[in-house]
Structure 1
Amino acid sequence: MDTEGQAGPSLTPGRLGEILAALGGRIEDTDQVVELLQKAVDLAHDIIPGADSCGVTIDFDGSTYTATYTDLLTLTVDRHQYDAGAGPCLQASRTGESVVVDCTDRDDRWPDFTDAARAEGILSVLASPIRTLDGVIGSFNLYGLRDHAFDDIDTDVLEGITTTVGRAIGEHTRYSDAASAVRALREAMEQRAPIEQARGIMMAMDGVDAEAAFAALSDEAQRRGLRVRDVAAEFVQRTSTGRTDAE
C-alpha cells in the first residue's frame, strides 16, 4: 500500500493528542484567534506530508475569505473557488463534511475548478469543515502537488485539527454572535502589522522565538484589558521612540 500520503509512523495517536492539546488553549482576543489559525495551518503543513499548501477559509453569513495561509499559492487556488462560488473547500463548509478531490480525475462537480487547480500545479485537495458552537463557519484546506496525496489517515488528522480549532473559536465567540465574530476576525487580519512588528523587535532584543514573543504580548494585553494589537502598537512606538532618543 502507498503510504506517502500518511502522517507517518512517528505520529502516533498519543503524539497527535499532545500536539492538538498544545494547539488549543484559552482565547481572550480576536488577535489570538488569528494566531491560533496560523499555528494550525503551519502545523498541518508540518505533520501531513501531502499538504504542500494550507489555509483556512471563513465562509459564513455571506462573507467568504482566506483567514490564514502558508503561501501565496493557497490564496490563488482559493480565489478560483471564491470567484466561481463553488469548489471542495466551499462544499466542506456548506455541507459540514470533509471533501477529498484528485484533480487528475475528472470531477463533474467542479470541472472548472479542477482545471484551474491543475494549471496551478495542484493535483490533490482535502478540505474539512470548521465547526463552532454556532455551526460551521468555514473550512480547513490542504492542497497537494502530487496526485492522490491524501487518504483516510490524513482526513482523520485534519479533522482532529479542525475540531480543536473550532472548539477554541467557539469558546471565544460564545459571548457574541458568530457574524460579529467573523467580521472582527477579518478586521484583526487586516490590522496585524503592529503585532508582527512588535514580535520581530522582541525576538531581536530578547532572543525569544515568535511564539514566546506573542505570548508575552498576549499576557500584557490580558493583564491590562486591551487588544493584543493595541499593546503591540504601544510597544513598537515606545521602542521606536527610545531608539530615536538614544540616537
Structure 2
Amino acid sequence: MSTDTDTGEQSLVRDHGHAHRDPSALNRASGLDTRSLVARVAAERPREVGLVVDALTGPDAHGREVTELLQLVVQTARETIGDCDSAGVTVVQEGTPFTSAWTDERTLAVDRDQYDVDDGPCLEAYRTETCVRVTVAEAMEAWPDFTRAAQADGVLAFLASPLVVDGTRFGALNLYSRSRDGFDDGDEALAALIGRIASGLVAGQLRQHRSATLISQLEEAIASRAVIEQAKGAIAVVRQVTPDEAFAVLRGVSQDTNVKLREVAARTLREFGAQLG
C-alpha cells in the first residue's frame, strides 16, 4: 500500500490491471494518493464536490446521531455520483458486518450477498483500507459466488471506499451501478472524498462520547437499528407490504411475546435465512 509522504496517510488508491492479481490489488491504475485524487476531482467536477461539501459539512449535518449521519452520507453519494444507482454503508463490529445505512432494498440485498460468502468489494475495502473499483467481469474473477448473486440483483459494477475512524477500521461506503461501463476515476475520487468526510463526521460524534459506556450504547444502537431495518425490509419483500406495515408486524410480535424488538428482528432474519438456505 502506498503512502502519502506529505501527510503520512495511507493511500486509498492502488494499482490495478495485472493479468494475475490478488483481490487486494483490484483498483484502477490512477496511481494517486488521497490528496492528489481529491485535488483532481475538485478541478474536474467542481459542482459535484461543492454539493458533497455543502451536504456533509453544512447545517444539515450538525447535531445528527451516527446512524443519521451515515444515512446522509449514502444519500449524498447517490445524488452526486452519476453512475451510482444504489449506496450503503457497511459497519463491522467485532468481526461481524452489517448495513447501517442504505438508499434502497437493492443495497441490502447485494450487501447480504457479500456477508453470506464473507467476501466482496466492500469487505475488501474494509480489510485493506483501500478503494476497490471493479466491473462485473473483474469481480467475477475474484468473487464468483458473490458476483453471480449481485448480477441476479441487477448490479454490474462496484465501488467501495473504506471508512477509517481515528486510525481504526470502521466499515466501508458501498456504491453499486446497473451500468456495465461502471465507475470512472472521477467517481472513485468523489467516493474517496465522501468516505474521508464521513470518517471525520463519525470520529467527531464519537469524541463527544468519550465514556466507554456511552460509546458502547451508541454501538448497540447502531447494531439494533440495522437488524430491525433489515428484518423490516425482508418482511416487506416477502409479504409484499410497505415498510411501515412490516415494522408493525415486528412490533406486534415483540409486544405479544414480551421479547425485545431487536431480538425479534434477529430471529426473523435467521428464519428467513434458514428458509432461503
**TM norm. shorter chain > 0.5:** yes
Amino acid of the structure 1 residue aligned with 2:79: D
Offset at residue 149 of structure 1 (A): 1.7
| Paired residues of 1:59 and 1:90 also in contact (CA < 8 A) | no
Query: Who is 1:70 aligned against?
Result: 103
What is the DSSP-based 3-state SS (H/G/I as helix, E as strand, rest coil) of the residue aligned with 1:139?
A: strand
Counterparts of 1:84 and 1:75 in 2: how far apart (Å)?
15
Amino acid of the structure 1 residue aligned with 2:224: E
Query: Who is 1:37 aligned against?
Result: 70
From 125, 141, 146, the counterpart of 2:158: 125
Of structures 1 and 2, the one scoring higher in RCO (CA 8 A, sep 6+) is: 1
| Paired residues of 1:60 and 1:179 also in contact (CA < 8 A) | no
Identity of aligned pairs, percent?
36
Amino acid of the structure 2 residue aligned with 1:187: S
Choose 132-141 or 84-93, whichever is displaced more.
132-141
Query: Who is 1:98 aligned against?
Result: 131
Counterparts of 1:42 and 1:99 in 2: how far apart (Å)?
20
Offset at residue 114 of structure 1 (A): 1.2
Judged with a 3 Å threshold, the aligned counterparts in structure 2 of structure 1 residues 15 and 65 are, in CA distance, closer, same or farther, namely closer
From 109, 117, 121, the counterpart of 1:88: 121
From 162, 186, 200, the counterpart of 2:223: 186
- Is 1:166 the counterpart of 2:199? The answer is yes
Judged with a 3 Å threshold, the aligned counterparts in structure 2 of structure 1 residues 18 and 54 are, in CA distance, closer, same or farther, namely closer
| Paired residues of 2:113 and 2:146 also in contact (CA < 8 A) | yes
Counterparts of 1:18 and 1:61 in 2: how far apart (Å)?
34
Q: Which residues of 2 match residues 1-247 of structure 1 at below 5 A?
A: 12-13=45-46, 16-17=49-50, 19-24=52-57, 32-105=65-138, 107-174=140-207, 175-176=210-211, 180=216, 181-189=218-226
RMSD over aligned CA atoms reads 3.0
Query: Who is 1:230 aligned against?
Result: none
Judged with a 3 Å threshold, the aligned counterparts in structure 2 of structure 1 residues 58 and 25 are, in CA distance, closer, same or farther, namely farther
Choose 52-61 or 71-80, whichever is displaced more.
52-61
Offset at residue 61 of structure 1 (A): 2.0
Offset at residue 158 of structure 1 (A): 0.8
TM-score by length of 1: 0.65
Offset at residue 22 of structure 1 (A): 3.6
Counterparts of 1:191 and 1:105 in 2: how far apart (Å)?
34
For these two proteins, the number of residue pairs brought into alignment is 184
Offset at residue 135 of structure 1 (A): 1.3
| Paired residues of 2:119 and 2:143 also in contact (CA < 8 A) | yes
Give unmatched runs, 5+ long, in structure 2: 1-40, 230-277
Query: Who is 2:17 aligned against?
Result: none
What is the DSSP-based 3-state SS (H/G/I as helix, E as strand, rest coil) of the residue aligned with 2:141?
A: coil
